[in-house]
Structure 1
Amino acid sequence: MSAAATAPASDPTAQRPTRIAIATDAWRPQVNGVVTTLTRVGEALEADGCRVLWLTPEGQRTVALPTYPDIRLALRPYPAVAAALAAFTPEAVHIATEGPVGRAARRWCLRRGLPFTTAYHTRFPQYVRLRAPIPERWTYGWLRRFHAPAVRTLVPTASMRDELSARGFRHLAVWSRGVDTTLFRPRPPGFLDLPRPVALYVGRVAVEKNLEAFLRLSLPGSKLVVGDGPDLASLRARYPQVHFAGFRHGEDLASHVAAADVSVFPSRTDTFGLTMLEAMACGVPVAAFPVTGPRDVVQEGITGALDEDLAAAVHRALHCDRDACIAYARRHTWAACAAQLRDYLAPITALGAHGEMNRKGAKDTK
């Protein structure tokens, strides 16, 4: 199969799977784009009549991820994962992450010659390199090996597909994202009593988010950071002029977003960036670097601005039409995102019975 192949085999008689197992190491109480995506997609799948088995670190012995204690990794999850899968008899298995739970589900499928799909949500090579002197090519090599046996590896944008294809990944398909427009909607701007314009960052406060590229900017008005993470205390001390609101969720989070004048997305390592869609749904344009993620989400001059000079992007984004942002975001629903995932899944009943799967790496069951 070509690396550019992005669609499942079209068969109008094929039955879409309804018993779906999803393995993920990223799970509540973590708050990030992966958890949000999987939670919303799972809700939409169940609303469409599917049964979803969640394979997560929940209920298992865990250990803190080095340098990131808020993330817990399951210890020896294979017995529990294998038992759950055997009892559930899934019609499709989707592996969302490459951690211990994801590896356990992969091992279970490979041992039985069953097809599965994977997803590439996180740029681990860049994240690891920011924290340890490990060459990115080593991590990319491990990730290629992990994803090689998958029928499809789902990526959030065309830019991410092209980037991974150039690094030797195969069987890539673009699986977009959604936004909850009931929660993230236009609201009165008076929620924030800050000098205008308000430039907002929402997300994890950690080194991989490149947050200081935003905090160092000379901008009129106010800078507001909404989120928590390992770097919050140090950045709060170093940038006393910035308003740090900490972690917010639900209506409180949406009210903060809707009250901003521009949403600044300084990350150079995200594969998508859900907070950009959430801002647009509130009528708030986005300023970002012209990198993978923003390039596929932001429409230059319409829903925001992209520039290597982030301050210039902020100034241009402030002149974008808020109604255009809202209209763009409303085209990205979680129901559509879930339906796309379901179309990309590899039905076990169709493929597993005959062992018709990508055999590359099939002997790798560790």
Structure 2
Amino acid sequence: MRIMVVTDAWEPQVNGVVRTLTRVIKEMREMGHSVEVISPDQFKTFPLPTYAEIKVAVGTYEPVQERFKAFEPEAIHIATEGPLGLAARRICVEWKLPFTTSYHTRFPEYVSARLPLPLAAGYAYMKWFHKPSGRLMVATPTMRDELEHHGFRNITAWSRGVDTEAFRPRAKDECDVYEGLARPVFLSVGRVAVEKNIEAFLGLDLPGTKVVVGDGPQTEELKAKYPEVEFRGFKMGDELAAHFACADVFVFPSLTDTFGLVILEAMATGTPVAAYPAPGPIDIIPGSNAGVLAGSATEGLREACLEALKLDRKQVRAFAEGFSWRACAEDFVRNLQPYPEPEKTRFWRRLRRLARVRRRRPEAA
């Protein structure tokens, strides 16, 4: 198929959404599909207020229209609810093109954590955005139930994967990236930002050393507030994998993620996970022998961290091996709603004919 993916989250951003999309697109191309990506790096952008690392595309509607016409997609997926997602949604609604969407972040909670806006306003926007979607893809049953409670419809499952070759246990002859630090090492990886609830981890009374890998708008503030914490900054590739593999416990304090890809990445290296019972962890961890959940969404994270130290790292790795990116990509393709034959051929032919007529009219005048 010719598959178009429209996303406001793309490289050089580093997060679970970008890693998921880039890997799924790679897998789909290897499966023989032709994939066109519309992303912010192709447009003029400005920094997102309060979050300069994220670039927001401007002047998107007409260029996105032209991309639709040039590619003539057979299936369209709108991954995010930003300016590019809005432009693509408008085109699909106006042209009566079927499309799918996905829910990657608990956007209303994310916004409420940063701005004085009620949750109800965020959910009203999200329901409006996703309503015309033929299928709304979510990563976990908990997220599906939560969205159904808020009145969302047409929800379907879309699993996640992990690269078990890149993220693997540390070999005996490989160096320890935490050499010299007091053990055990409790690691957190992700954006250093208020919506990630990172202070719930930094404030814990734990033995050994707390390490943070990542960067974001709260970095300098938290460095000053928690001088005993080791802030390693942004890491990627082999360096990131080594930080996962050498840690004793990976701590995931976020309450706004819908899955938490870093959970699987930590588990793939054999590092057990401690987390709150939020969407993502609550679907992955129970019964896995690969992590421990806190008693509630506000308490018990310290106890979960200490219990996670007791887990067998071989069992943790074995659990992660059950997730693959190819299965994730196959799920995604099954969830797409291609324009039915032969209507799609007639639609794009008619659109090309209209474009030619419009071009000829000024010449005739």
TM-score (norm 1): 0.90
Q: Distance in 1 between matches of 2:225 and 2:148?
A: 40
1:3 is matched with none
Residue pairs, 1:1-366, within 5 angstroms: 18-188=1-171, 190-193=176-179, 194-300=181-287, 302-307=289-294, 308=296, 309-350=300-341
Stretches of structure 2 that go unaligned for 5 or more consecutive residues are 347-365
Give the secondary structure class of the aligned counterpart of 2:133. Answer: coil
Q: Distance in 1 between matches of 2:205 and 2:288?
A: 22
Query: Deviation above 2 Å: which 4+ runs of structure 1?
Result: 188-191, 349-355
- Rg comparison, structure with higher value: 2
Contact 1:301 1:316 in 2 (8 A): no
Give the secondary structure class of the aligned counterpart of 1:214. Answer: helix
Q: Distance in 2 between matches of 1:299 and 1:200?
A: 20
Q: Distance in 2 between matches of 1:288 and 1:73?
A: 31
Aligned residues: 338
Q: Distance in 1 between matches of 2:288 and 2:151?
A: 34
**CA distances 1:125-144 after superposition (whole Å, capped 9, x unpaired):** 11111121111101101110
Contact 2:163 2:325 in 1 (8 A): yes
Contact 1:125 1:140 in 2 (8 A): yes
Q: Distance in 2 between matches of 1:203 and 1:26?
A: 15
In the TM superposition, residue 285 of structure 1 has moved relative to its aligned partner by 0.5
Letter in 1 for 2:93: L
Give 1 or 2: higher helix fraction.
2
Q: Distance in 2 between matches of 1:162 and 1:304?
A: 23
Q: Distance in 2 between matches of 1:300 and 1:267?
A: 20
Q: Distance in 2 between matches of 1:351 and 1:267?
A: 46
2:355 is matched with none
**CA distances 1:71-99 after superposition (whole Å, capped 9, x unpaired):** 11111201111111111011100000001
Give the secondary structure class of the aligned counterpart of 2:36. Answer: strand
1:4 is matched with none
Q: Distance in 1 between matches of 2:167 and 2:343?
A: 41
Q: Distance in 2 between matches of 1:109 and 1:352?
A: 15
Stretches of structure 1 that go unaligned for 5 or more consecutive residues are 1-17, 356-366
- Identity across aligned pairs (percent)? 52
Cα distance 1:301–1:315, how it changes in 2: closer, same or farther (>3 A)? farther
Letter in 1 for 2:177: F
In the TM superposition, residue 330 of structure 1 has moved relative to its aligned partner by 1.2
TM-score (norm 2): 0.90
Q: Distance in 2 between matches of 1:39 and 1:88?
A: 19
Give the secondary structure class of the aligned counterpart of 1:64. Answer: strand
**CA distances 1:296-350 after superposition (whole Å, capped 9, x unpaired):** 1113571110013100000111111211211111111111100100000001135
Contact 2:192 2:218 in 1 (8 A): yes
Give the secondary structure class of the aligned counterpart of 1:42. Answer: helix
Structure of higher RCO (CA pairs closer than 8 Å, 6+ residues apart):
1
Letter in 2 for 1:330: E
